[in-house]
Amino acid sequence: MNDIPERDICDDVLTPPSRPADADRLRRTVLDRTSRLVRRRLWMRRAGLGAALAACYVAGVLTTRFLAPAPREVVTIPPPAEAVPLPEPSPRTLPAPAVEDWAARADDGERAALYRRAGDRYLDEESDPLAALRCYTKALSSGAGESSFSPEDNWLLMAIKNAREKEKRDAKNDS
């Protein structure tokens, strides 16, 4: 019989091994490697923040570019052209009633010619033989020697002259 208590194997093999003398070298190496990863995390975070800010800026720029109203078109107004003097009214350009009105206010020397022109215009442009007849009659009444026939006379004027001639002849015969 053995009085010495048997030593447990656990006490032998589970006793912690002594710390290696150069354990600090590994400690520093691992610290450096892990710290580098932490630092990288910081830079990644900053880079992420920077990228987010840049994205916001770009988004803002794009928004203002695409959503802002289009610039107003500049309309250049040309300087006013120099006033062109209106042509002097003339019997050639005025309408028949105006020429007739003009003839009524004209001097005696011009009146017969103006009525004649007003009559021509009534007949040719307005197709108004009655008005033309009125003007021709006034023209013949105003102008001396106008009753003589002319190749420029139109049918209405010739008919009036003819009638006036016949009237004169009849009156002479009667007297």
In the numeric block, which tokens belong to residue 105? 């206010």
- Binding flag, residue 47, another protein (CB under 8 A): no
Shortest Cβ distance from residue 70 to another protein (Å)? 46
Binds another protein (CB under 8 A): choice among 4, 7, 20, 174: 20
Binds another protein (CB under 8 A): choice among 2, 3, 4, 43: 43
Q: Are 55 and 63 in contact (CB under 8 A)?
A: no
> In angstroms, what CA-CA distances link 29 with 36, 37, 39, 43?
11, 13, 15, 21
- Binding flag, residue 39, another protein (CB under 8 A): yes
CA 86 – CA 94 distance, rounded (Å): 13
Binds another protein (CB under 8 A): choice among 13, 67, 70, 81: 13
Rg (CA), the chain: 61
- Binding flag, residue 169, another protein (CB under 8 A): no
- Binding flag, residue 51, another protein (CB under 8 A): no
Shortest Cβ distance from residue 62 to another protein (Å)? 31
- Binding flag, residue 41, another protein (CB under 8 A): yes
In the numeric block, which tokens belong to residue 54? 């840049």
- Binding flag, residue 49, another protein (CB under 8 A): no
- Binding flag, residue 8, another protein (CB under 8 A): yes
- Angle at which helices 96-105 and 108-124 pack, to 10 degrees? 170
